Amino acid sequence: MNSAGPSPFRRLLVVDDDRDLVDALCEWVTQHSSWTALGAYGPADAVAQAGRFHPDAILLDMEMGGANGFVTADRLDRASAPCHPPLFALTGNPRLQDEAARDERFTASMLKPADLPRLLRLLEHASPPQ
């Protein structure tokens, strides 16, 4: 890590079990913002990457094999203590979008396919890193 000062880039962890979607979102976010994005390909990988990557925000799919987004949010919360990066829910299921919107752990929830300009606006307003 650079000890000369804070990085101008913020870190986004993109979590989904669809590798193509993760890779495409990471590339798009990195090309169109000052964020750098890293992918995690499922719940276990999300927890491992969050521990190494220390993201400033997490975009989390709500329906993955192995654990849903709510269980994964619990695991990420325990793994990232005492820092709790903002969580953004992403799902193709309107019921889960509504449920995530009511869950105080999530800053926002979006339906797939992701509204990419909205995602960037949400990231711009994410709380600054501690």
Q: How many domains does the chain have?
A: 1
Decide if 130 is inside a domain: no
Q: Which domain holds residue 47?
A: 10-122
Q: Is residue 12 a contact partner of residue 59, using CB atoms and an 8 Å limit?
A: yes
> Is residue 56 one of the residues assigned to a domain?
yes
In a domain, 3, yes or no: no
- In this structure, what CATH number is given to the domain that contains residue 48? 3.40.50.2300
Q: Is residue 4 part of a domain?
A: no
Both tokens assigned to 116 = 């990419």
Note whether residue 81 is domain-resident: yes
Mean pLDDT over 35-43 rounds to 96
Percent of the residues in the chain that have a pLDDT greater than 90, as a whole number: 78
Q: Is the pLDDT of residue 129 over 90?
A: no
Per the domain annotation, does 26 fall within a domain?
yes
Residue 129 lies in a domain: no
Rounded average pLDDT over 18-46: 96
pTM attached to this predicted model: 0.89
Task: Calculate the average pLDDT of the chain.
Answer: 89
Render pLDDT for 56-93 as a digit per residue (tens, 0 to 9).
999 999 999 889 999 999 999 887 766 789 999 999 99
Backbone angles phi, psi at 60, to 5 degrees: -120, 120
122 — pLDDT class (breaks 50, 70, 90): very high
Per 3-state DSSP, the chain is made up of helix, strand and coil in percentages (nearest 5) of: 40, 20, 35
User: Considering the domain boundaries, does residue 5 fall inside one?
Assistant: no
